Amino acid sequence: MIAFIISRILQALPVMLVVALISFAMFAYVGDPVSIMLGQDYTEAQRAALVAELGLDQPFFVQFARFVGNALQGEFGLSYRLSRPVAQLIAERAPATLELAFCAAALALLVGVPMGVYTGLYRNAWLSRFFLTFSLIGVSLPTFLIGILLILVFSVWLGWLPSFGRGETVQLGWWSTGFLTWSGIKALILPSITLGLFQLTLIMRLVRAEMLEVLRTDYIKFARARGLANRAVHFGHALKNTLVPVITIAGLQLGGIIAFAIVTETVFQWPGMGLLFIQSVGAADIPVMAAYLLLIALVFVTINLIVDLLYYAVDPRIRSGFGAARGGH
């Protein structure tokens, strides 16, 4: 297990270095940080002093090495727009995005998997047809349109749920949560549905397709021939093997939920990292953009490692294959 984890971490290091290089390239080739920080009126002496302070007069690879070293310590400099440490800004916005992503992922898994199992087991039932028709909405409609429609129905027409903001939050150390207040929970409902609907329909269709394929395999026929009950066949054998590819998709989709919450946070004015990134793009706030890019890459790499570990634990073929590969060397 330890060797497996180390091998995956070594594979992830080049990915993070490439992303770090792309993030650093934004400092060098997107806009002029000196002009942004000094404004319109500055002297050449002020410009030269700031260039020296930022280290922009040093060779490219020296600047890149310093950028990587600072990133490893969680230091990304000051925001051009807000003149505050970028790490502090992200720490303030991260709880909102992570809570929204958690609710959307929980909705997608807790609803999508049972719907996929049902439509796989009862293909011709009217409820299965309804689920498949419903899934077309999540697949075909863009996220921003789903959010606007939900706001129109539940906020404007019915007035049941808030249309923007996070509601009241409770501070638990450095973490701010909306789970402990009624207004915070109500504010989570519409953004969570908007963000999780596409993932829900994707997981439902994947589970259905895998379930239909597994039910046609020989070991399922053998289990039926042994006289096992349908419940044991469906949930003890079929579902267990169906969930192996679902783990991969669900893990990658969780990373996608965090990375692409930008649209949902913009529609609902959700005070998370996605909204911060959009505002930073408009103001050419390069330090925030670079830090966000690195953070999302780290999220994907971490989730990919967790998915690989789950595969390693669930699928004995991977354990035997990894052991054979080590033995061959």
Each domain of the chain, given as residue ranges in start order, spans: 2-72, 95-328
CATH, domain range 95-328: 1.10.3720.10
pLDDT for 79 equals 84
H helix runs in the chain, sequence order: 2-29, 33-38, 44-54, 60-72, 86-121, 126-140, 143-150, 182-214, 218-225, 230-231, 239-259, 262-267, 273-282, 286-314, 316-328
Cβ-contact 266, 278 below 8 angstroms: yes
Per the CB < 8 A criterion, the answer to whether 113 and 253 are in contact is no
Q: What is the pLDDT of residue 104?
A: 93
pTM of the model: 0.83
133, 293 Cβ separation under 8 angstroms: no
DSSP 141: S
Cα separation values, 115 from 104, 118, 202, 205, Å = 16, 5, 11, 9
Q: Nearest Cα to 261, choosing from 181, 143, 177, 148?
A: 143
Could you say which DSSP state residue 80 is in?
A: T
CB 322 within 8 A of CB 312: yes
Measure the CA–CA gap between 322 and 32, rounded to whole angstroms: 49
Q: Hey, what amino acid is at 225?
A: A
Q: What is the pLDDT of residue 327?
A: 52
pLDDT at 6: 81
pLDDT recorded at residue 181: 92
Return per-residue pLDDT of the chain as tens, 329 residues: 677 778 878 888 888 888 888 888 876 666 667 777 777 777 788 878 877 877 777 887 888 888 888 888 888 888 878 878 999 999 999 999 999 999 999 999 899 989 988 898 888 889 999 998 888 877 888 888 999 999 999 999 998 999 988 889 998 888 899 999 999 999 999 999 999 998 899 889 888 888 888 888 777 777 777 777 777 777 777 777 777 777 777 777 788 888 778 899 999 999 999 899 988 887 778 888 888 988 888 888 888 888 877 776 766 666 565 555 555 55
Q: At what angle do helices 182-214 and 143-150 cross, to 10 degrees?
A: 130
Name the residue among 240, 270, 244, 242 with its Cα closest to residue 257.
270
